[in-house]
Structure 1
Amino acid sequence: MIKVKLMSLKLLSVFALLVFHQAVMAQVVNNIDEFNQAVRNASPGDTIIMANGEWNDVELVFKGEGREDSPITLKAQTPGEVIITGVSNLSLSGKYLVVDGLVFTQGHTPTGEVIAFRTSPTELASYSRLTNVVIDNFSHSERQLSDLWLAIYGKHNRIDHNSFVNKRNRGVTVAVRMNSEGSRKNHHVIEYNYFGPRQVLGANGGETLRIGTSHFSREYANTLVQYNYFDRTNGEHEIISNKSSGNTFKGNVFFEAQGTLTMRHGHYTRVENNYFLGNRKPNTGGIRIINEHQTVSNNYLYGLTGRRFRGALVIMNGVPNSPPNRYDPVIESAMNNNVVIDSDYIQLGAGADEERSAPPSSTEMKNNIILGKHNLNPITVFDDVSGISFSGNLINDNAQNPLTSGFKKVPYEVSENERGLWVPSKDLLDKIRFGEVKLPVEKNATGAPYYPKNDSQIAFQSGKTIQVKPGIDTLVKALDSSKPGDVLQLENGGEYLLTRFATVTHPVTIMAKNGAKPKLRSEKPSFIVIENGGALQVENLWFDGAASPDYKGNSVIRTSRSSMNINYSLSVQSVKVTDLDINGYFYFFKAHPGTFADAIEIKDSHMENITGAVLSLNKETEDLGVYSVENLTLEGNTFKDIKEEVVTLYRGGFDESTFGPMVTVDNNTLTNVGKGNTHRTGASMYFHGVQNLHISNTSWADSAPLSLYLTNGEPITRIEKVTMKNTPKIKANKNDYTAEQVVYQN
């Protein structure tokens, strides 16, 4: 009898186990209809497996109610082999949901969010997880059209081991949203993610991570951001924009990232044990304090070159009785026990002006190590800093310091440790109780483990060399068959006629060896068009306008007329340009709106008899802080008989979220430039809103004046060692520029 009962119990157990296994399903779905059916039928513990392959133009809606011990999981059949493309997105709502292993690429969202932790304004996802997911180049083709890649709503969600790479249009990469009570005091955890390279946007709206918005900035989010890797996230000067209260940022690494971790709004923020590795790259920044009860401690900052709002350590001035969208004064905050090595700027009272007139108060800056050899005036004081208590800080003995107390001078002694980090002596580290200097997280420990962290930039002259014979459209055909990085080598002295547009769709070089320059003519309104994804280097060529059509607005090189969401670059070296005069307004290079260059350079070139401008970079005219080039260099050139400007560059508006443009003009000669009858600006060079301009060793003769329009952002404008013969004096809207050794001759 006992044996029978035992057998019955065993049979019941087996039966129950079978029933359990049948109830907990793992179902492979092959298309959107099967996916939708599986989601409708999903129960706690179920797994929906998306079949490997490309899922194009799908809007995935994942709703479910899992349990803590039995979540509902949506996963790739093989991580990294479910590729979501086209006009697609994913939204999820419910509780205890997991999304794992999907890749979004080569497309864009039909809505404002690629992945959203909600399916409607009232249906949010909580206690859910996004892991091993990749979003790479899933960007709208219109660079100024804004969207979010990941919008986190609800509460208690975990975002871990995901890769976010190559966002190319406007909008925040990852945003914690707080526009309903169900998304506040959320306690999200964002950890071990790889934020890969993001190009300079050239406009506001390029943040990599934002928590909250100004409207809800005094609400608590209580989000934890830890052990993430920010790799060259250069969208704008706020890499992280903290816009809510109660958040913690710890153990993150910022590698050669242009911008700062900014406490833009909100109070009671903790920023601890983060590592900022600028490696002396331009505009790399650290930490910016605004608002009340902020704590910045035990952070390591190396090789940061950013100034003003992009300094290594910045304490801002605030606005008295500030509205939520401006700047709350810094009150009862601390910037203590940080190590700053070879970084150029510590900014105190930054942004002080008529509006931002409230200096920091009840704040302390203690036990920081500041050692640098590049800028021996690292600390800038913009306003009254009596509200900051200074003590125990260490600074190298050959540095200047406007602060008379709270700092002790020590020798500059810095060495590279076994981990490749530059550190002061252990004695100094022990004095501030910093501990061991080592990265809190390695790059390879972040992001989706199956997805490579390759650099997508392709260098000029990194491919094959292709010989191009003279003739009609031989260059066009060579361009059409070229690969990224290739060099198209033209014959010295050869003649090349273009009867079609020569389009550049990837980085390519067109050049000739030293010697007689090959001559290029075109029967189209433009010789060469840089399309999205293109970049161009030209060297030792001769562009002549004799065969061009009788149109106004011709150009030798121009960008696409459509928006380009991939930044380009243009390098012009040892080039001759003649007779762009078939009609008025014939330009050498023209940038259309919605395009952006990381760099444009013209070096060692001769250009003459041009009815338009050499560089037309003035089409972003909406006065929203948008502009067309980050770095512009003119060096060693001769410009003669140019009806318009050598360069006209425009950055309008008063936005402070961008760095550029940055312009260098050195060792050039201008003769009879800017004096055309139809010339609008009446200038030989016109710079509007340029943030960093250096003109040196350059001469003007019989030309229109250099014209400057200085706007906000504390621009640096230096003019030195220039001669202006039979040329009017420099025109400027105000005298906030430096002019040394400027000689005027009649």
Structure 2
Amino acid sequence: MRLINLTIIKFSLVILGCISTAATAKDYFVDNKQAYTDIAQDLKAGDTVILKNGTWTDFEILFQGQGTETSPIQLTAQTKGKVFLTGQSNLRLAGEYLHASGLVFKNGFTPTSAVIEFRRNKNELARHSRVSEVVIDNYNNPDKRESDYWVALYGQHNRFDHNHLVGKRNKGVTVAVRLNNKQSQENYHQIDHNYFGYRPTFGSNGGETLRIGTSHYSLTDSFTLVEKNYFEQTNGEVEIISIKSGKNIVRNNVFFEARGTLTMRHGNGNLIEENIFFGNGVDHTGGIRVINKDQIIRNNYLEGLTGFRFGSGFTVMNGVPNSSINRYHQVENAQIENNTFVNVRHIQLAAGSDAERSAVPINSVMKNNLIINENNQQPFTAFDDVSGIKFTGNLANTEVLSDVAYGVKRQAISLKRNKAGLLLPNTNKFNAGAKANLTVLAKDQTGVTWYEKVPAIIAFDSGKTRRVKGSANALLNAIEAAESGDVLELTGGQYDVSKLVAIDKVLTIKAHKKGKTTLTFERSTLFEIHDGGSLKLDGLIISGKSSPDSAGNSVVRTKKWGMVNNYRLMMMNSQITDLDINHTFDFFKTGKGALADEITFTNNTFNKVSGDILRLDSEIEDLGIYNADYVTLVDNRFSNINGSLIKLYRGGTDESTFGPHLSMTGNTLTNVGLGKRNKSNASVYLHGVQVTNIDNNTFVKSAPIIIEHTVGEPNTMIINNTFDSTEQPSVTELRVAGPHTATLINNKVIKN
């Protein structure tokens, strides 16, 4: 009886405590920064702070206090999605049981190291706190190389959920779990139901979307749960998720057309299960990369992945013997079981094998996996001894690599797409592959309901067509009035442009009739691409005859410094001439820090150019940074070019990026690259380019192709070209001893 009475008394005290807290809790409606400051230090359990709808500029919010599990302290918007934090604003949480929600960070950047930070300083951290239904949209430092986090989790038992993050463009991890003190280790954070939208190619290391830990603390366990998040086109670098700690769980997430991999970079004992990867055949879409000890990878579904090497559909790495903490630890006791691989181009084992990474995987197993490639190409590559991975019970529809064939049964298997969107066997008699009832998280189940998930890139020619008649002023006015995606169609005649034209939107400028519209310009550059700008030119004649009589002109350039947005440049069916009024007159030159997603030239004619056609070599510090991801040249004619057709440079030893890529097909080069100021002495100069395809081109009385291979096992193909009175291509390996790895076949050399 006494025990029952004591229980009743304790329960009554709990109820009275809750009633007391509820009775004293306050709601604060705040309409300015000073009003927030006045109450911020006195918040108590159960209090709610409501920020008035509107725009709050340069608002550094310190949200602190001691809430309780049943009575958290809340910070929210009057209406979710109607409170905008702009300029140099941020949010810091310190204390316990805090919950922030409903805010939008846009049109600015953080003045500190993070937009949202679960700490006040290194001693005052957040615990049992939550950030939900918050939007961070293109909230980037204008200096692309200035690093910050969008979200930094410190402390323990915090949750980051149902948030919308899109457009991280400057250096730094989008969401980072920090383990740099005891109070942030074994943290049991939860990261769930977030929408991670488009993160463009960053062009060097520092573009991860989610990182858990760092190499310095990688032997520490984090116990972070990452589940039910949607990663759409998170293309920053090769590591989408970079796990650098132990005992984490990553499950039930969707990776949609995301270039890169979920990487267990450091740390042991992580569980990767029931994740869905849809590559849809997009370049460099990857899956899972395995490093370190005791990793479990099971019941994942991977489809349509094209990536290779460190970004392949599935990769098991080689390690470094007695590795330092920041290099590659040997794979040991990896359990890879019941995963489904459908149309995954590459499964790579003992990847990265070289003189340093010589420790092969050991004591590991790959069992009951299903491997189906509808093109009948087997996906396995072994770069070293893979006997330390035991294969058993796996099924494939093709013959596989002999090293693993003993544990992979060939079986004709028909697939059918189920209601969840997965291609699974028609019958359940097979024990291999992911479970049949695997769920697929829908995009609209993540993020917030009140903020639109818009397409990542505005397509050319997706807006209105506007007719422009007769004069440069009409053209300038049309550019000013246009919206992204619009087409400006120019009637015939000559447009003598006296001003530099800034392009800060996605714009097509085309001739109404091909070859009937001529543009001349009186400034050192005709078009300058700014943030938000992309340019497509079609059917125009562009002449440099009215340009200043001085060195260093160009037709198109980016801003000289300070671009944070990637851009696109396309030109087709156009004639470029008389770029020779003085020396070093280039067609296009990049500013420092600018990165093109693509530069594509098709069916154009260039004649009389005193400089280069494409100057893409401003990043000379050898830090792994480069200026263009994809350069494509098809069926163009280049004659009397003193400089190079292209100078494309990527220096350094960084291995975290996929580009640059160059594709040249069907072009004719006559008298290209022989000018005395062309220091490269090349018609085509490539340094550190990762993927090169030079096919069916004709070089006449031109400087040679000069290619310098650096890191990353570059893939270079030079095939079916004609070199008439032109030296054969030169390919040099700058980082690896021995002959070059390029493929040169079926090229014709004509000597006169």
TM-score, scaled relative to structure 2: 0.95
Determine whether 1:647 maps to 2:652.
no
Query: Which residue in 1 is equivalent to 2:531?
Result: 532
Query: Which residue in 2 is equivalent to 1:600?
Result: 599
- Separation in 2, partners of 1:21, 1:418: 47
8 Å contact 2:95–2:127 — kept in the other structure?
Answer: yes
8 Å contact 1:74–1:100 — kept in the other structure?
Answer: yes
* Alpha-carbon offset, residue 555 of structure 1: 0.3
- Greater shift in the superposed pair: 576-585 or 20-29: 20-29
Query: Which residue in 1 is equivalent to 2:747?
Result: 742
Query: Which residue in 2 is equivalent to 1:461?
Result: 461
* Alpha-carbon offset, residue 31 of structure 1: 1.2
| Cα deviation digits, residues 578-600 of structure 1 (max 9, x gap) | 11001110001111111111110
Query: Which residue in 2 is equivalent to 1:710?
Result: 709
- What amino acid is aligned across from residue 657 of structure 2 in structure 1? T
8 Å contact 2:21–2:46 — kept in the other structure?
Answer: no
Determine whether 1:210 maps to 2:211.
yes
Change (3 A) 1:19 1:271: closer
8 Å contact 2:381–2:401 — kept in the other structure?
Answer: no
- What amino acid is aligned across from residue 407 of structure 1 in structure 2? V
8 Å contact 2:373–2:398 — kept in the other structure?
Answer: no
- What amino acid is aligned across from residue 668 of structure 2 in structure 1? T
Query: Which residue in 1 is equivalent to 2:28?
Result: 27
Query: Which residue in 1 is equivalent to 2:5?
Result: none
- Separation in 1, partners of 2:53, 2:117: 23
* Alpha-carbon offset, residue 22 of structure 1: 5.2
* Alpha-carbon offset, residue 508 of structure 1: 0.4
- Greater shift in the superposed pair: 292-301 or 478-487: 478-487
* Alpha-carbon offset, residue 472 of structure 1: 3.6
Query: Which residue in 2 is equivalent to 1:590?
Result: 589
Change (3 A) 1:90 1:394: same
- Separation in 1, partners of 2:282, 2:19: 61
Unmatched tracts of structure 1, length 5 or more: 1-14
| Cα deviation digits, residues 299-325 of structure 1 (max 9, x gap) | 000000000111111100000111111
* Alpha-carbon offset, residue 260 of structure 1: 0.4
- Separation in 2, partners of 1:51, 1:293: 50
8 Å contact 2:59–2:90 — kept in the other structure?
Answer: yes
Query: Which residue in 1 is equivalent to 2:482?
Result: 482
8 Å contact 1:463–1:483 — kept in the other structure?
Answer: yes
Query: Which residue in 2 is equivalent to 1:142?
Result: 143
8 Å contact 1:377–1:401 — kept in the other structure?
Answer: no
| Cα deviation digits, residues 336-382 of structure 1 (max 9, x gap) | 11000011000000011111010000011111101012461310000
| Cα deviation digits, residues 63-106 of structure 1 (max 9, x gap) | 10111111111111111111101111111101111111111111
* Alpha-carbon offset, residue 415 of structure 1: 2.5
Query: Which residue in 1 is equivalent to 2:114?
Result: 113
8 Å contact 2:212–2:245 — kept in the other structure?
Answer: yes
- What amino acid is aligned across from residue 363 of structure 2 in structure 1? S
Determine helix, strand or coil for the equivalent of 2:211. strand
* Alpha-carbon offset, residue 229 of structure 1: 0.7
TM-score, scaled relative to structure 1: 0.96
- What amino acid is aligned across from residue 488 of structure 2 in structure 1? L
Query: Which residue in 2 is equivalent to 1:171?
Result: 172
* Alpha-carbon offset, residue 400 of structure 1: 5.6
Determine helix, strand or coil for the equivalent of 2:125. strand
| Cα deviation digits, residues 560-583 of structure 1 (max 9, x gap) | 113211111001001100110011
Query: Which residue in 2 is equivalent to 1:48?
Result: 49
Determine whether 1:261 maps to 2:262.
yes
- Separation in 1, partners of 2:337, 2:20: 60
- Separation in 2, partners of 1:685, 1:328: 39
Query: Which residue in 1 is equivalent to 2:133?
Result: 132
Query: Which residue in 1 is equivalent to 2:365?
Result: 364
| Cα deviation digits, residues 617-648 of structure 1 (max 9, x gap) | 01111111111111110000000000010011
Query: Which residue in 2 is equivalent to 1:656?
Result: 655
8 Å contact 1:227–1:440 — kept in the other structure?
Answer: no
Change (3 A) 1:337 1:19: closer
| 1:298-697 mapped onto 2 (5 Å cutoff) | 298-374=299-375, 376-397=377-398, 402-427=403-428, 430-432=430-432, 434-492=434-492, 494-697=493-696
Change (3 A) 1:591 1:172: same
8 Å contact 2:695–2:721 — kept in the other structure?
Answer: yes
- What amino acid is aligned across from residue 685 of structure 2 in structure 1? Y
- What amino acid is aligned across from residue 77 of structure 1 in structure 2? Q
- Separation in 2, partners of 1:68, 1:404: 55
Query: Which residue in 1 is equivalent to 2:7?
Result: none
- Separation in 1, partners of 2:136, 2:634: 40
8 Å contact 1:253–1:440 — kept in the other structure?
Answer: yes
Change (3 A) 1:20 1:333: closer
- Separation in 2, partners of 1:21, 1:340: 54
- What amino acid is aligned across from residue 312 of structure 1 in structure 2? G
Change (3 A) 1:665 1:20: closer
- Greater shift in the superposed pair: 323-332 or 437-446: 437-446
* Alpha-carbon offset, residue 57 of structure 1: 0.6
* Alpha-carbon offset, residue 436 of structure 1: 2.1
- Separation in 2, partners of 1:66, 1:87: 28
Query: Which residue in 1 is equivalent to 2:233?
Result: 232
* Alpha-carbon offset, residue 391 of structure 1: 0.6
8 Å contact 1:504–1:529 — kept in the other structure?
Answer: yes
8 Å contact 1:476–1:503 — kept in the other structure?
Answer: no
Task: Percent identity, please.
Answer: 44
Determine whether 1:95 maps to 2:100.
no
- What amino acid is aligned across from residue 179 of structure 2 in structure 1? M
Determine helix, strand or coil for the equivalent of 1:62. strand
- What amino acid is aligned across from residue 267 of structure 1 in structure 2? N
Change (3 A) 1:411 1:517: farther
* Alpha-carbon offset, residue 461 of structure 1: 1.0
8 Å contact 1:344–1:375 — kept in the other structure?
Answer: no
Query: Which residue in 2 is equivalent to 1:9?
Result: none
- Separation in 2, partners of 1:331, 1:76: 49
- Separation in 2, partners of 1:18, 1:70: 10
Change (3 A) 1:549 1:558: same
- What amino acid is aligned across from residue 480 of structure 1 in structure 2? E
- Separation in 2, partners of 1:546, 1:504: 22
Change (3 A) 1:255 1:18: closer
Determine helix, strand or coil for the equivalent of 2:696. strand
- What amino acid is aligned across from residue 432 of structure 1 in structure 2? A
8 Å contact 2:504–2:532 — kept in the other structure?
Answer: yes
8 Å contact 2:515–2:574 — kept in the other structure?
Answer: no
* Alpha-carbon offset, residue 480 of structure 1: 1.4
- Separation in 1, partners of 2:465, 2:731: 47
- Separation in 2, partners of 1:556, 1:312: 41
8 Å contact 1:473–1:497 — kept in the other structure?
Answer: no
- What amino acid is aligned across from residue 87 of structure 2 in structure 1? G
- Separation in 1, partners of 2:516, 2:706: 34
Determine helix, strand or coil for the equivalent of 1:547. coil
- Separation in 2, partners of 1:101, 1:673: 58
- Greater shift in the superposed pair: 344-353 or 30-39: 30-39
* Alpha-carbon offset, residue 20 of structure 1: 5.7
- Separation in 2, partners of 1:16, 1:387: 60
* Alpha-carbon offset, residue 18 of structure 1: 9.7
Determine helix, strand or coil for the equivalent of 2:216. helix
* Alpha-carbon offset, residue 435 of structure 1: 2.4
